[in-house]
Chains A and B, each alone.
Chain A
Amino acid sequence: MTPAAQLTSVMKTLADPTRRAVFERIVGDPEIAATALVKGMRVSQPAVSQHLRVLRDAGLVMERREGRHIYYRPAPKGLAPLIDWLGHYEKFWRERFENLEKLLEDDE
């Protein structure tokens, strides 16, 4: 995926409140079984499975299968696209602020 597609995908994936709740449950534990996730949510098992697939495809969670069980854990770099986005603007303003200072100096 391109950086743009990654950012859009992370944003869209987490825009859904139920999916975000599933994600936050996963983030709160080192690893959690799919069955445990379903128990804690007021959503049907198929709906949770669907959300888990979308989270996995967006690179936000990782999946591990063991026998009949599936476990989920947060993907280490899952939120990097959001952080890069903010980082870009941070750099932009730092540079513009320097320009502003320079302009004020030269204007003396």
Chain B
Amino acid sequence: MSETHAIVVEKVLPYPPERIWRTLTRSELIAKWLMPNDFEPVVGYRFTFKTRPMGDWDGIVHCEVLECDPPQRLRYSWKGGSESNPDYGARLNSEVTWTLTKVEGGTHLKMVHDGFVFPGNRFAYEAMSPGWGKVMDGIARVTVDAATASEGPAGGMSMIRKSV
């Protein structure tokens, strides 16, 4: 059994969903906050992000638009890296999902980057690196609270696990 781990970042931003959607889906705007790209908001469209090359990886992230439902949900695949690299350069076959939910005073924006495959199960990680499992659970709980709170800007970051 393996588990995939996801990174989640979410926050309530004081802007309407349409405005945030624009920054998530216009190529020249994406380039300003994320990476140079040739994105187009069309399901099935293949595009790339360009980052720093590392080792035998050319620094190109290969993506495909999987869902595009303005101004609520955007999902694309994210593949790149090489087995011979650590950190951002390591091989990754993943997905990024953006969800925008209109709330009082703005938009709850949530990003989930899923597909970090860890072999084994969480018990192994907890036993091997004491506190690791607890830390992840703690952060996840804080984020859930923030996400369900109906007032005020709330933000958080967490990692979630699921078995595959």
Contacts and interface: CB of A to CB of B under 8 A. Distances in A.
A and B interact: yes
Interface of A: 2-8, 11, 14-15, 20, 23-24, 27-28, 74-86, 88-90, 92-94, 96-97, 99-104, 107
Contacts of B84: 4-5, 8
Q: Which 9 A-B pairs have the closest CB atoms?
A: A14-B119, A3-B86, A99-B33, A88-B87, A4-B86, A27-B127, A100-B33, A79-B128, A27-B124
Interface residues of B, number: 38
Contacts of B132: 79, 83
B140 to A, nearest CB: 13
B86 A2 contact: yes
Contact of A20 (B88, B120, B127): B120
Interface of B: 5, 7, 9, 11, 13, 15, 19-20, 23, 29, 32-34, 55, 83-90, 111, 113, 116, 118-121, 123-125, 127-129, 132, 157, 159
A100 to B, nearest CB: 4
Contact of B116 (A5, A6, A24, A89): A89
User: By DSSP majority rule, is chain A's interface helix, strand, loop, or mixed?
Assistant: helix
B135 to A, nearest CB: 10
Nearest to A101: B13
Given A4-B85, A83-B132, A89-B7, 19 more contacts: A4-B55, A14-B120, A20-B120, A28-B127, A76-B128, A79-B124, A79-B125, A89-B116, A93-B111, A93-B157, A94-B9, A96-B34, A100-B23, A100-B34, A102-B33, A103-B32, A104-B20, A107-B19, A107-B23
Nearest to A74: B128
A78 B159 CA distance: 20
A15 to B, nearest CB: 6
A104 to B, nearest CB: 6
A85 to B, nearest CB: 6
A75 B84 CA distance: 23
Nearest to A82: B118
A24 B9 contact: no
A82 to B, nearest CB: 6
A55 B9 CA distance: 34
